[in-house]
Amino acid sequence: MMKYGGYFAVFRALLEEDGERWRVYSAVRGELHADAEAVGFDGFVISGRCADAHGDEPWILALVDLTRHVHAARHASPVHAARHRGSREHRRRRQRLRGMSLGELPTS
């Protein structure tokens, strides 16, 4: 992955649209925004494979809570309609925050 500049560079190259401003935050290190500020973002790319959607580490719980809040605000107002893009683990975290059952994924 470092050959391509890391995950951030790969996601940015694949997803960035003209005029967008991207920032990187490390949820693992506690770099999450306050809910009020995050609701104003146009979108999120949540990547990562350093933990799974079943984890209960504090940073995962904080990320799930933040995503829940932003998702609720997105449905409450079209002004805050954030785009959500993410990896398989991000989709599984979204399933978790919606209370959906998560089955184990094959490892191969």
Give per-residue pLDDT as tens, 24-38.
788 888 888 777 677
CA distance 108 to 101: 21
Boundaries of every domain in the chain: 2-97
Query: Of 106, 68, 63, whose CA–CA distance to 88 is shortest?
Result: 106
Burial of 54 (0-12, 13-18, 19+ CB in 10 A): exposed
Residue 18 tokens read as: 């003209």
Overall pTM surpassing 0.75 (yes/no): no
pLDDT of residue 81: 41
**Helix or strand run (H / E) with residue 81:** none
CA distance 41 to 102: 28
pLDDT of residue 108: 44
Assign residue 58 a region (left: φ > 0; alpha: ψ between -120 and 50; beta: otherwise). alpha
Q: Is the model's pLDDT at 56 over the cut of 70?
A: yes
pLDDT of residue 99: 65
pLDDT in tens, 75-104: 665 444 445 555 556 566 666 666 665 555
86 against 60, higher pLDDT: 60
Share of the chain above pLDDT 70, in %: 57
